Amino acid sequence: MTQPLDLQSISAHYGTTKVLEDLSLSVQAGELVSLLGASGCGKTTTLRLIAGFLSPTTGSITLGGRDLTRLPPHKRDIGLVFQNYALFPHLSVLDNVAFGLKQRGLGSTERRKRAMGMLERVGLTPLADRSPGALSGGQKQRVALARALVIEPPLLMFDEPLSNLDAKLRVDMRVEIRQLQRANGTTSVYVTHDQEEAFSISDRVAIMNAGRLMQFDRPEVLYRRPANTFVARFVGFENIIPFKVTARDGAAVAAETAGMTLHLSQAGFGSIPDSFLLATRPDGLAVSTDPDAEGLPAQLGLRTYLGRAYQYQCETPAGRVVANGSLTTPLEAGTRVKLVPVPEQCTILPAEGAH
Amino acid sequence: MSDRPHPILVGVAALVYLFLMVPLVIVVGAALSDTTYLTFPPKGLSLRWFENIFEISAFRRTIVTSLQIAFLGTLIALLIGIPAAYALNRFRVELPNWLGTLFVLPILVPEIVFGFALLKSLTAGAGVPIFAALLIGHTLLVLPYVVRVISASLASFDFSIEEAAISLGSAPVKTFFTIVLPNVRAGVIAAFILAFITSLNDVSVSLFLTGPGISTLPIQILAHVEQFFDPTVASVSVLLMFLTVAVMAVVERTLGLTFLAK
Amino acid sequence: MISRRFRRRDGATGWALSAPATLAVIGFLVVPIGAVIAGTFMDPRGIFAPYLSYFNSGFRTTVLFRTLQIAALTTIISLIFGFMTAYVVARAPGRLKSLLIVAAVFPLLTGVVVRAFAWLIILGRNGILNQTLLALGVTSEPLEMLYTQGAVIVGMVYLFVPLMVLSLVGVLENIPRDVLQASSSLGASPLATFWQVLLPLAVPGLIVGAVLVFTGSFTAYATPQLLGGERQTVLATLLHQRAMVAFDWVGASTIAAIMTVITITIVLAMSHIARRINPMAT
């Protein structure tokens, strides 16, 4: 029942605008993969292509060896959970869930039995005869989930399914979705713009931007070792500082940027190219008042209170960066400090273009 | 949407549009005919039937009357309809629901009954001059359109910007003219056009409110058709269509055409 | 206390602003029509005398039933063709869709007299249709098409199809696309989606459109007058004839009362039904 999904160099256009460029993505059987990105990145387009509501200009889509590319949506056998639930307003909760079974020609008693069973799994048995209009957002989402699951599809897809729910419910529902998906072992594609949601729920995450796949990997890897500046900024590496290697001695590397020399060990970062970018989160730059510290000279600007630390906007010869300082010694604007990179909180990216 | 409608449906829709357009094309053709009887395709091209419109004094007079009534009626309907629409939206909680229904009544009751009732109570019953009765009838006839169109644009108006203006020291009445009205300008224009055209084309209300020397253009056309079967009426019709096209062009320029479909 | 005084003043402002329009509708519409209807019950011959004499006249009851029949047929034909057309228009790509909408709005803005007159040219004894049929040898002498019920219905359908198309395009566009896509993602063929999802969701809109067309064709004057003449007398033309030719004001008022009551009853009943079965309401 569970099948792998394979997208081979898919391109898509809306009119003459290219919305997806040469996208290849393989989802293993039973895996949950998230498509993550800002609106307009192509994640929803990808989902609609797989569902069959759009046709790709080039490329192919296969599910368990079956070529879906030219198949109309109603023959693809994919369970879809919509952002706005898309429940049938004229049918009861039970009839909503049974709708897909009816299309598959099941008799009314069998339909009812299976639909009731599914409603029980999502805890909605008492609401079976209600109209969808009378349900809360969370209940609607459960009906939508039950409706998609009951047809036992080889592939489940979710289009921002939780974005209309409040924060608390969102967390509960994503656990519930993950449990149901795990229990059924159904291959799943999950579209979201919420990084925390994507990272918490997925086996692997595909980060997209402007119609291209930027990186596709496990959340742990994306979070610690982004492959490029786009993904780095996306996962919170706010400071990206260009360096040039000035000396190498075995694993030890000396690199320089405006007025600062930094000593690094390749052991922590793998091989370091001659020209690279050092990416850090605000926590990755320690604020030091020691004038002799090996770090980036900086003048502190605006200080904001984050609860766990103070955050400073800092002017440096390499541009403006953001650093977090300790709560015990708040520093005034204008103070001259050194910003010392914390190797465990940094990552190294290849230099890009002329920048 | 990726799923195309079935070819049979497309065919039916094409036929329906043909059915809608062909008669209008025929009227235009007939108006250009050089013959003294109505025919299509036109035999010989001539504009003489257009000249004929203005040679018949009844047409001359009724065109003027119709334009006067449509213009004045629409104006009065706007004057009383805009405050009403504003009140219905701004004071939704304070005003009863039936008030909104009341303003729809003129299109709910049969127009011809309304015209007859005005004849009975105003012109015949109270000796109100025919022109005044016509004006009253047309004002009420177009009032629902005015209230509805303006209400629709007020429904998407954020009344908090009105409150913002008042909090900045603008007097309420002045605020209405400087803040509210400019934001529903499109609605006012649409209401004017819709009301004007409705009034200009009306038959059923005007039917009973004509008298010696006073009639409207559609009533005059009806009377003419029943007596003569020459292309004059076709050319008057074309004239009215031109007027409609001109109005639609103005709408297109100011608001975009799909606006009228709402 | 302060807020309550504010509120009361607000209410008063609302009433004041709507007063001119309210008084105009009450004074010039509600009262005159009320007077017409009330008048029919004050006949010296007895309270229901005008109605008894109306329904005792074979001709007048025939007119009533003919009017209902014409309105019903017009409504059904407009519904069927209007729905199919609206379906195509609603699915047309952007620019074509606006063009199609404009093409439906244009006849709507052209007067009823002009539109009835067009069919006079087409259906007349020497009209285009007869000329064409004669030229093609389909018939050897001109057919009598004018002044038949068919002519009136064609003219009425012509009048009301654009209205139906426009209102149904609105209805179809209000059906969320997601819901239709959900249906096909669950395996429903386009035909199944149409019957099981689209049509049920469009029913309230269809009812509203049908009421619009029915009441419009039930009370139309110019089209039956021009295309039906005396042979196809309907309530509206009968009302005019009683009032302006026969000066039978009681008779005319009775017809007016019957038309008003039927129209308002249908509007209220159907809008109640449409609201009750509207699944989108909650």
The pLDDT value given to residue B259: 56
Listed in sequence order, the residues at least 6 apart from B1 whose beta carbon sits closer than 8 Å to its beta carbon are: C91, C177
Residue C1: the pLDDT is: 36
Structure tokens at C156: 């009425």
What is the set of domains in chain B, with CATH numbers?
A: 47-261 (1.10.3720.10)
Measured between CA atoms, how close is A320 to chain B, in angstroms?
A: 38
> What is the SS3 assignment for C189?
coil
Query: B2: which chain A residues are within 8 Å (Cβ-Cβ)?
Result: 52-55, 73
Using CB atoms, pick whichever of C85, C113, C219 lies closest to residue B111. Answer: C219
- CA atoms within a 13 Å half-sphere pointing along the CA-CB vector of A309: 13
For residues C254-263, give the mean pLDDT. 96
More confident residue, A210 or C94: A210
- Across the interface, do A74 and C188 touch by the CB < 8 Å criterion? yes
CB C264 within 8 A of CB C204: no
- Looking at per-residue confidence, does A267 or C117 come out higher? C117
Q: Which residue has the tokens 């094409």?
A: B14
Residue C63 touches chain B, beta carbons under 8 Å: no
For the stretch A140-170, pLDDT in tens is: 999 999 999 999 999 999 999 998 888 889 9
User: Which chain C residue has its CA at the smallest distance from B113's CA?
Assistant: C256
Chain A hits for C281, CB-CB cut-off 8 Å, are 133
According to the model, what pLDDT value does residue C272 have?
A: 87
Cβ <8 Å between B88 and C18: yes
Phi, psi of A2 (to 5 degrees): -90, 135
Q: Which residue of C has its CA nearest to B77?
A: C21
Which residues from B are below 8 Å from A72, CB to CB? Answer: 3
b/e per residue A209-235 (b: at least 16 CB within 10 A): bebebbbbbebeebbebbbbbbbbebb
In angstroms, what CA-CA distances link A74 with A48, C186, C193?
13, 6, 10
Which among C33, C106, C169 has the least Cβ separation from residue B244? C106
Report if residue C197 sits inside a domain: yes
**pLDDT tens digits, C1-25:** 334 444 445 688 899 999 999 999 9
pLDDT at B257: 54
Lowest mean pLDDT among A269-278, B95-104, C179-188, C240-249: A269-278
A134–C280 CB contact, under 8 Å:
no
- With H, G, I as helix, E, B as strand and everything else as coil, classify residue B91: coil
Which residues in chain A are classed under CATH 3.40.50.300?
5-232
Number of alpha carbons in the 13 Å side-chain half-sphere of residue B63 = 14
Number of Cβ atoms within 10 Å of the Cβ of A113 = 14
pLDDT for position A158: 96
Per DSSP, the residues of C133-164 read HHHHTS-SS----TTSHHHHHHHHHHHHHHHH
Find chains touching chain A: ≥3 CB pairs under 8 Å.
B, C
Can you give the CATH number for the domain in which C159 is found?
Answer: 1.10.3720.10
Q: Does C29 touch chain B (CB under 8 A)?
A: yes
| Chain length of chain C | 282
Please check the confidence at residue A22 and state whether its pLDDT lies above 90: yes
Q: Which CATH number fits domain A5-232: 3.20.20.70, 3.40.50.9100, 3.40.50.300, 2.120.10.60?
A: 3.40.50.300
> Within a domain: residue C114?
yes
Residue C188 contacts B where some CB pair is shorter than 8 Å: no
Residue C253 falls inside a structural domain: yes
pLDDT, residue A353, reads 60
Confidence (pLDDT) at B1: 38
C282: pLDDT strictly greater than 70: no
Residue that has been written with the tokens 């799923």 in this structure: B3
- pLDDT greater than 70 at residue C87: yes
State yes or no: pLDDT of A63 exceeds 60.
yes
CB pairs under 8 A between A and C: 77
Which residue range is the domain that position C85 belongs to?
A: 57-276
Rounded CA-CA distance C116/A213 in Å is 62
CATH for A236-350 (1.10.3720.10, 2.40.50.140, 3.40.50.720, 2.60.40.10): 2.40.50.140
Asked if C36 is an interface residue toward chain B (Cβ–Cβ < 8 A), one would say yes
Among B120, A307, A311, which Cα is nearest to C243's?
A: B120
Phi, psi dihedrals of residue B217, rounded to the nearest 5° = -60, -50
CB contact under 8 A, A100 and C187: yes
- Encode pLDDT of C132-168 as tens digits: 899 898 888 888 899 999 999 999 999 999 999 999 9
Q: What is the pLDDT of residue B128?
A: 92
Number of other CB atoms surrounding residue A163 within 10 Å? 14
| pLDDT over 60 (residue A240) | yes
SS (H, E, C) chain A: CCCCEEEEEEEEEECCEEEEEEEEEEECCCCEEEEECCCCCCHHHHHHHHHCCCCCCEEEEEECCEECCCCCHHHCCEEEECCCCCCCCCCCHHHHHHHHHHHCCCCHHHHHHHHHHHHHHCCCHHHCCCCHHHCCHHHHHHHHHHHHHCCCCCEEEEECCCCCCCHHHHHHHHHHHHHHHHHHCCEEEEEECCHHHHHHHCCEEEEEECCEEEEEECHHHHHHCCCCHHHHHHCCCCEEEEEEEEEEECCEEEEEECCEEEEEEHHHHCCCCCEEEEEECHHHEEEECCCCCCCEEEEEEEEEECCCCEEEEEEECCEEEEEEECCCCCCCCCCEEEEEECHHHEEEEECCCCC
Q: Which chain C residues are within 8 Å of B201, Cβ to Cβ?
A: 109-113
Instruction: Give the confidence band of A249 by pLDDT, cuts at 50, 70, 90.
Output: confident
CB B17 within 8 A of CB C100: yes
Q: Is residue C48 part of a domain?
A: no
Torsion sign over Cα B240, B243, B249, B255: negative
b/e for B187-223, b at 16 or more Cβ within 10 A? bbbbbbbbbbbbbbbbbbbbbbbbeeebbbbbbbbbe
What is residue B101's DSSP assignment? H
Q: Which of B255, B251, B12, B260 is nearest to C163 (CA)?
A: B260
Q: A251-255, C116-120, C255-259 — which is least confidently predicted?
A: A251-255
Taking the C-alpha atoms of residue A240 and residue A280, their distance in angstroms, rounded to an integer, is: 7
Nearest CA in chain C to B235: C114
Q: Does position A25 have pLDDT exceeding 90, yes or no? A: yes
Alpha helices (runs of H) in B32-129, residue ranges in sequence order = 48-55, 57-90, 98-108, 111-118, 124-126
Angle between helices C112-123 and B217-227 (to 10 degrees): 20
C50: in domain: no
In a domain, C162, yes or no: yes
Q: Is residue C171 pLDDT above 80, yes or no?
A: yes
Average pLDDT, chain A: 92
CB-based contact B247 C17, cutoff 8 Å: no
Strand order, beta sheet including A252-257: A260-265, A252-257, A239-249, A275-280, A346-350
CA pair distance C181, A86, nearest whole angstrom? 8
Q: Residues of C numbered 198-237 whose beta carbons fall under 8 angstroms of chain A's beta carbons: which are they?
A: 200-201
Of A73, A102, A151, the CB nearest to C184: A73
Q: Which residues of A touch C200 (CB under 8 A)?
A: 90
Q: Across the interface, which of A133, A147, A148 has its CB nearest the CB of C282?
A: A133
What pLDDT digit, counting tens, does each position of A270-322 carry? 788 889 999 999 999 999 998 888 888 899 999 999 999 999 999 998 889 99
Tens digit of each residue's pLDDT, chain B (262 residues): 345 788 999 999 999 999 999 999 999 888 888 877 777 777 777 888 888 888 888 899 999 999 999 999 999 999 999 999 999 998 888 889 899 999 999 999 999 999 999 999 999 989 999 999 999 999 999 999 999 999 999 988 888 888 888 888 888 888 899 889 988 888 898 899 899 999 999 999 999 998 888 999 999 999 998 888 788 888 888 888 888 788 778 777 776 655 555 4
Contact B233 C117 (CB under 8 A): yes
Q: Which other chains touch chain C, taking contact as 3+ CB pairs less than 8 Å apart?
A: A, B
Which residues are within 8 A (CB) of B128 and not within 5 positions of it... i.e. 6 or more apart? B122, B136
In this prediction the pTM is 0.84
Closest CA to A96 of A74, A119, A73: A119
d(CA A321, CA B146): 59
- Which of C107, C177, C219 is nearest residue B20 as measured by Cβ atoms? C107
Where in chain A is CATH 2.40.50.140?
236-350
Residue A354 pLDDT? 41
- Touching partners of B (3+ C-beta pairs < 8 Å): A, C
Q: For B3, which DSSP code?
A: S
Q: pLDDT per residue over A86-135, tens digit each?
A: 999 999 999 999 999 999 999 999 999 999 999 999 999 999 999 998 99
Neighbours of C51 (CB within 10 A): 16
Residue C204 predicted with pLDDT over 70:
yes
The complex's ipTM works out to 0.91
Would an 8 Å CB–CB cutoff place C214 in contact with chain B?
no
B204 contacts on C by Cβ (under 8 Å): 219-222, 236
CA–CA distance, A269 with A260 (Å, rounded to integer): 20
The pLDDT of residue B191 is: 92
Structure tokens given for A298: 């900086």
Contacts of A247 (CB under 8 A, 6+ apart): A253, A254
Q: Is C62 on the interface with A (CB under 8 A)?
A: no
Q: Does residue C258 form part of some domain?
A: yes
> Are C88 and C167 contacting, i.e. CB atoms less than 8 angstroms apart?
no
CB atoms C179 and A80 under 8 Å: no
Q: Kindly report the CA angle at B174 between B173 and B180, in degrees rounded to 5?
A: 85
In a domain, C121, yes or no: yes
- Domain count across chain C: 1
